[in-house]
Amino acid sequence: MPSSPSPALPCVRVLATGGTIAGAQTGGSRGYQAGAFSIDALVAAVPQLATLAQLEVEQVAAIGSQDMDEAVWRRLAERTAAALADPAVHGVVITHGTDTMEETGYFLNLVVRSEKPVVLVGAMRPATEISADGPMNLYNAVAVAAHPAARARGVLIVANDEIHFAREVAKTNTTQLGTFKSTQRGLAGLVNAGRLHLYAPPARRHTAESEFILGPDTVLPRVSIVYAYAGMGRELIDAAVQSGAHGLVVAGVGDGNLPATALAACADAVRRGVAVVRSSRTGGGVVERDIEIDDDRLGLIVAEELNPQKARVLLMLGLTRTADPRALQEMFFSY
Ligand code: GLU
């Protein structure tokens, strides 16, 4: 479905948070500082953006996304909602570091109540690097956010000429440009120098159809992730519970499995009222209920298709609604 924007240019608001797309190298070294350039500088570096949309820019944060946290998520959700509530705004682009972009994207996918396009974008190379990928990624992200057909598809992530659903995408490589993959249900589409080719819409609930409400008084409970391994004991699970976690996501081996000792610690955690989700460290597939572990008897929840870091996001929001493991399980089947 190749197409281009209408002659009357839509308004796109760009919310900046930092990341490598705004990164600057210092003194000719390979090292760089994320978030060094302002959003005004990034936009000024791509004059072709003026052919796609009227841009409004807002600097929400200036951090590497390894420092992204719930406080910035809340602010970003609030600024995104404010932008989308403006009838003049067609869509939002969020510049963001790539390390935790998938978590921020999925969080917004669950709390932003709008069908207007929300597109996260970053870069793998800092803005001062040879053949920096940020300018084309930004151009493509604005093209997606400005396009009417990008509505009602949930939060999207644009990188390396691809459009991903925030729910599906994962960062899979430390440094290479093609790091983002959507291996499970596939791409949302392609975007070639601003020309969109959209595939099927997402099957799961998102944005305007989400039940999650993030109000100023909403408390996001502490949810920890524990990584499983051969010979794992129970100490990390016990430590998470003792430190006050209301929820626990285990990045289990294979189909979300755990050694018997660690599983016993999970069962104890459930008895103490902690919601425990079994996800997988494999990076693909579906964690199924009641295969080698009796989830029904132990009161455990499976992450189904979500990776551990996204399972944590859904569990945090789910726990704002209910502590019932069966109701939480239904959320993992729905979102
Ligand atoms: N740590 C940086 C960040 O996530 C580097 C990753 C990037 O932006 O590409 O912000």
CATH of the domain at 176: 3.40.50.1170
What is the value of pTM for the model shown? 0.95
Q: Please name the residue whose Cα sits nearest to atom 3 of ligand 1.
A: 97
Q: Would you state the pLDDT for residue 289?
A: 98
How far is it, in rounded angstroms, from Cα 135 to Cα 36?
15
Q: Would you state the pLDDT for residue 35?
A: 83
Residues 17, 26, 135, CA angle at the centre, nearest 5°? 45
Kindly give the parts of the chain with pLDDT less than 70.
1-7, 28
Which of these three, 183, 209, 235, is where a domain ends?
209
Range of the domain at 135: 11-209
Residues whose CB is less than 8 angstroms from the CB of residue 71 and which lie 6 or more positions away in sequence, other chains included: none
Judge whether 218 lies within some domain: no
Pocket of ligand 1 (CB under 6 A): 19-20, 34, 64-66, 97-99, 122-124
- Based on the domain organization, do 158 and 288 belong to the same domain? no
Mutation pick for ligand 1 pocket among 42, 96, 98, 169 (CB with most ligand atoms within 8 Å):
98
Judge whether 215 lies within some domain: no
- Based on the domain organization, do 193 and 164 belong to the same domain? yes
- Based on the domain organization, do 204 and 242 belong to the same domain? no
- Based on the domain organization, do 98 and 235 belong to the same domain? no
Residue 308 sits in a domain of what CATH number? Answer: 3.40.50.40
Give the pLDDT confidence of 248-304 residue by residue, as tens digits.
999 999 999 999 999 999 999 999 999 999 999 999 999 999 999 999 999 999 999
Cα-Cα-Cα-Cα torsion 92, 93, 95, 99, nearest 10 degrees, comes to 90
Q: Would you state the pLDDT for residue 30?
A: 75
Give the pLDDT confidence of 150-182 residue by residue, as tens digits.
999 999 999 999 999 999 999 999 999 999 999
Mutation pick for ligand 1 pocket among 25, 30, 66 (CB with most ligand atoms within 8 Å):
66
Judge whether 6 lies within some domain: no
Q: Would you state the pLDDT for residue 284?
A: 96
- Based on the domain organization, do 24 and 161 belong to the same domain? yes
Query: Residue 230 carries which side chain, given as an amino acid letter?
Result: A
- Based on the domain organization, do 41 and 107 belong to the same domain? yes
Q: How far is the CA of 267 from the centre of ligand 1 (A)?
A: 37
Of all atoms in ligand 1, which is nearest to the CA of residue 18? 10
Judge whether 236 lies within some domain: yes
Q: Would you state the pLDDT for residue 2?
A: 44
The residues annotated with a catalytic role in the active site are 20
Q: Would you state the pLDDT for residue 26?
A: 80
Q: How far is the CA of 112 from the centre of ligand 1 (A)?
A: 23
Of all atoms in ligand 1, which is nearest to the CA of residue 101? 4
Judge whether 290 lies within some domain: yes
Q: How far is the CA of 102 from the centre of ligand 1 (A)?
A: 12
Of all atoms in ligand 1, which is nearest to the CA of residue 125? 9
Number of domains in the chain: 2
How far is it, in rounded angstroms, from Cα 23 to Cα 124?
10
Of all atoms in ligand 1, which is nearest to the CA of residue 20? 8
